Structure 1
Amino acid sequence: MRDSSAVLRRLMRGVLPAAALPAAAFAALALNAAAAPAQAEEVKVGVVLTFSGGAAQFGEQISRGMELYMKEHPEAFGDNTVTLVKRDSKRPGGDIAKNAVQELITREGVDILAGFVFSPNAIASAPLATQGKVPMIIMNAGTAWIPSLSPYIARVSFSMWQTGYPMGQYAAGKLGCKTAAVGYTDYPPGKDSLDAFQMGFEKAGGKLVEAVPMGSPAEVPDFTPFFQRVRDAKPDCFYVFVPSGNHAAAVAKTFADTGMKADGVKLIGPGDITQDTQLQGMGDDAVGLVTMHHYAADYDTPENKAFVKAWKDAYGADSVPDFMAVAGWDGMAAIAHAIKAQDGDVSADGTMEALKGWTFASPRGPIMIDPETRDIVHDENIHEVVKEDGMLKVKVVDTIKQVKDPCKELKVGKCGE
C-alpha cells in the first residue's frame, strides 16, 4: 500500500473491502488521513492498449504520445508522481481487455484507466469503471455511444459520427456527389460510420446506392469482391471506413486495381484511411483521396510543429506521429489537469468534474471535453492527399470548427437513450 489516504480512498470507493481492515484500523486511517498535511501523491494510471499482434502499432503510438507528454510537461502534474501500469488487450474481442481492467482495479488499485484502441474493448470494460468508480479516459475507440455506458468515461479521441456525418454533407454539397456507396468493416465503428455518412449525405440531397460490409477488423480481407460490387453500382463517391494500419494501406491499391479511379469515382472517407504512419506506403494511387479528419502530422501550426519535433527527437527522425499519438498526448494532458485540480487526491467524481469543459491547445487544434456528453469537441478538416517533392502529404482544404458529436446532437439510436 502507499500512504494512509490512498488506502482509505480505495476502501471508500469499494476497491478494497472494508473487512480487509479491523474497525479500529479503519478509524485510525481516517483520522491520520484527515490530520496529515497535504503531500505529493503517486497516481497510478492503468493503460489498456494493443501491444502485440497486428494492432501493436496502435498501442505503441498512443503509449508513446502519453509518455512524450509526461517527458515534455512534468510541471503539468504538480508535485505528484504518475506511474503507468500497462496491460496488453491484444485483440478487439473485449474479453482480454475486460480481464485486464478488472485486474488493474482490484489488484493494482489504479486511480485512472486510459487507452482502449478498439471499441469492443472499451464497451466490455465500461461496467467495471462504474462498479469500481474509476475514471476511464478513451484514447481511440470511436463508437459514438461509448461515453454513455458509464458516468466515469470521458473521450479525448473522436467519434465516427464526427467525421461520417459532416463528410456526407460535404460530399453532397461541395464534392458534387449525387450518388454514393459505402464500404465498411463490420463492427461497431464501421456501422456507426455507415449510419453517420448515410444520414449526412441523404439530408444534403444525396442518394446511397450501395452499402457493403467488408469483413472484420481482425484480419485484412481481400477487398476486391467488395470493391467490384461497388463499381457495379456506379456511384459518384465511394466512402470507405476500415481500421487504420494494414487495412487502410490496402484500400487505395484495390480502388485503383478495380478500375474505379479510372472511372472517375471519388474515393472519400474518414482520416483513418490516410493514417500518417501508412501514408507513404499507399503510393500514387492515394493522390486525390479526400478525407475528413481532426489531425495530420503535416498540420502547419506552432503546437503541431513543436509536437512533431519532440516526437522525432524522442523516437527517431523517420518516426511520425499519427492521430492516435495525438490522442495519447491529449489524454495525458487531460489526466494531468485532473490530477492537479484534485491536488493528487484522485477520485472518479472529482476527475469527471475537473474534465467538464476542459480546454487544451492540442497539436490537432483547440479541443474541449463537452460538459454534457463527456465527449471530445474539435475541428474537423477536409484533407486532400497530394504529392510534393516526391512525398505524399495531407493538404487541408476546408475546416469545420468545433464539431460536437452529431450522434448525440441528433439523438440517434443509442445516443438518444
Structure 2
Amino acid sequence: MIKKKYALTAIALACAGMLGSAHAEDGKLRIGLIATYTGPYADYGRQFDAGIALYLKEHGGKIDGKEVEIIRKDTAGPAPDVAKRLAQELVVRDKVSFITGLDFSPNAYAVAAVSTQSKTPTIIMNAASSGITKSSPYIARLSFTVQQVSAPMAAWMLKQGIKNVYTVVADYASGVDAEKAFSKEFTKGGGTIVHSVRTPMSTPDFSAYVQHIKDTKPEAVFFFFPSGVMPQTFLKAWKERGLDKTGIKLFATGEATDDSFLEATGDVALGLITSHHYSYAHPSAKNKKFIQDFADQFGTNLRPNYFSVTAYDGMTAIAEALEKTKGNLQGDKIMAALKGMQIESPRGPIEIDPVTRDIVQTVYIRKTERVDGKLVNVEFDKFDKVKDPAKEGS
C-alpha cells in the first residue's frame, strides 16, 4: 500500500513540473505505446506499429510540426500490474504527452489511475471492456466496445427468426461484456438463452464444451474470444466434433475472423457470420487507399486488421486534437478537443461521443467467404451510428 501511494505521489510531483512545458525539451512529441510484442498475442503490437507508421509516413513523421517519438512498452499479454508500472515509467521517466495502445482491457483499467493522477491523455486503440472510459476522465476510446458489436448481432439474429441460443465466451472483462450485451438484447427481443459458458483464457481444448453444445441441441451458438489462438481452436473443435453437420448455426463477433489471423484459421471459418466495426474487404475508397498504402509499405504478408486501423485513427485524433488546442498539451484541453471529434476512417465515419468519450460508429454484419482466392469478411448488412449499449442514455 505504501509503495502504491509513493508511486502515485512520484507521478504527481513529476507531472507538476512537466505539464506546463507542453513539449519535451528536445522539441519532440513523445507518445507512449503500451502493447503486446511477445508471446501468443504479439501480432497485436505489430499491427499497432504498422498503423502508426503508416500515419507518420503520410505526414512526414510529424504531428503539430514536431517530430514524433513512439516509446514502446511490452506487457507480453494481459498483465495489469506490468501495464501500470510501464505507464508510470512513461509518465515519470520518459515524459510522454500521450499514452496509447492498450490491447487488453485489464491492462487499460490498470493504467487508468496513472492517467488520472498525471492528467495524461490516453487513447485506447483496442481494449474493449465497456467501463474503461468511466475509469478515468483522461481516457478516450478510438476502437470499439465488445457490447457495441455484440448487441447488434443479437438484434440481427432475432430478425432471422432465431429463438434460442447457447453462449460461449472467454472468462475475462470483455468476454463477460459480450455475454451480457448479447443476452440482454436477445432476451429483450423475446429470445431465450438456453445455456451460458465462460471458458478460461488458458483453455487449450474446446472438445468438452463443443460436445455439451451438441448434446444441448440449441438452435444457434454465439461466441466471443479474443483474436488469435482461441477462435481458431474453437472452430476446429466445432468441425472435428461434426457440429457443422448438425444444423446448429454459429455466430460470433469479429475477433473470431480477425483479418490478421484469417488465412491461418483457414476454411473452418468459411460461412461464419460475425459482427464487427472493420473488415479488410470494406469497400470504401478510403479503405482501398489504406490497404494499398499498407501493402506498399509492409508488403502483402501482413494484412491490416482492426488494430492497425484504430492505431491509424488514434494518431489522426491526436493530430486533430493538437490542431484544436494550437499545440497546447495540457490534459484537460486535449480531452476537451477530443470530445465530439468526427473522423473519416478506413472503417467508415467515426465520432468520439462528447459525453462518454467512447466511439460511435457503424457495426457491420459480415460473412467469411473466399474472394479472389483470399478469405475475407464480406459485409452485407449494417447498423449505423452505434453507441456503446452500456452507456445509452448517458
Normalised TM-score (structure 2):
0.92
Match of 2:169 among 181, 184, 197: 184
Equivalent pair of 1:276/1:320 in contact (CA under 8 Å): yes
Do structure 1's residue 173 and structure 2's residue 156 form an aligned pair? no
Which residue in the other structure is 2:4 paired with? none
Deviation at 1:65, TM superposition (A): 0.6
In 2: Cα distance, 1:389 partner to 1:265 partner: 29
Per-residue Cα deviation, 1:46-101 (whole angstroms, up to 9, x for no partner)? 11111111111111101211121111134972322221111111120201111000
Which residue in the other structure is 1:277 paired with? 260
Which residue in the other structure is 1:153 paired with? 139
Which residue in the other structure is 1:265 paired with? 248
Q: Secondary structure at the match of 2:368?
A: strand
Per-residue Cα deviation, 1:327-353 (whole angstroms, up to 9, x for no partner)? 111111111112222232311101101
Which residue in the other structure is 1:207 paired with? 192
Structure-to-structure mapping, 1:15-414, within 5 angstroms:
15-16=14-15, 41-74=27-60, 77-174=63-160, 176-216=161-201, 219-409=202-392
Deviation at 1:17, TM superposition (A): 5.6
In 2: Cα distance, 1:178 partner to 1:14 partner: 57
Q: Secondary structure at the match of 1:346?
A: coil
Q: Secondary structure at the match of 1:221?
A: coil
Per-residue Cα deviation, 1:285-337 (whole angstroms, up to 9, x for no partner)? 22210000011111111100010111111111222100111111111111111
Which residue in the other structure is 1:415 paired with? none
In 1: Cα distance, 2:61 partner to 2:118 partner: 29
Equivalent pair of 1:42/1:80 in contact (CA under 8 Å): yes
Range 76-85 or range 345-354, more displaced = 76-85
In 1: Cα distance, 2:278 partner to 2:377 partner: 10
The amino acid across from 2:178 in the alignment is S
Equivalent pair of 2:11/2:117 in contact (CA under 8 Å): no
Which residue in the other structure is 1:3 paired with? none
Equivalent pair of 1:77/1:340 in contact (CA under 8 Å): no
Q: Unaligned stretches of 5+ in structure 2? A: 1-9
Per-residue Cα deviation, 1:112-155 (whole angstroms, up to 9, x for no partner)? 10010100000111011000110111000000010000000000
Range 66-75 or range 246-255, more displaced = 66-75
In 1: Cα distance, 2:115 partner to 2:55 partner: 24
The amino acid across from 1:302 in the alignment is A
In 1: Cα distance, 2:119 partner to 2:14 partner: 8
Equivalent pair of 2:29/2:63 in contact (CA under 8 Å): no
Equivalent pair of 2:11/2:91 in contact (CA under 8 Å): no
Which residue in the other structure is 1:23 paired with? none
When residues 53 and 40 of structure 1 are mapped into structure 2, their CA distance, relative to the original with a 3 A threshold, is closer
Per-residue Cα deviation, 1:210-240 (whole angstroms, up to 9, x for no partner)? 1111111xx4520111121122221111111
In 1: Cα distance, 2:124 partner to 2:16 partner: 28
Equivalent pair of 1:169/1:203 in contact (CA under 8 Å): no
State the aligned residue count. 382
Deviation at 1:256, TM superposition (A): 1.3
In 1: Cα distance, 2:372 partner to 2:238 partner: 24
Normalised TM-score (structure 1):
0.87
Tell which structure's C-alpha radius of gyration is larger: 1
The amino acid across from 1:404 in the alignment is K
The amino acid across from 1:285 in the alignment is V
The amino acid across from 2:149 in the alignment is T
Equivalent pair of 2:36/2:77 in contact (CA under 8 Å): yes
Q: Secondary structure at the match of 1:268?
A: strand
Equivalent pair of 1:297/1:321 in contact (CA under 8 Å): yes
The amino acid across from 1:398 in the alignment is D
Per-residue Cα deviation, 1:369-409 (whole angstroms, up to 9, x for no partner)? 00000000110000011223443221111011010111111
Equivalent pair of 1:159/1:405 in contact (CA under 8 Å): yes
Deviation at 1:12, TM superposition (A): 12
Deviation at 1:204, TM superposition (A): 1.3
Equivalent pair of 1:47/1:113 in contact (CA under 8 Å): yes
In 2: Cα distance, 1:393 partner to 1:16 partner: 46
When residues 374 and 395 of structure 1 are mapped into structure 2, their CA distance, relative to the original with a 3 A threshold, is same
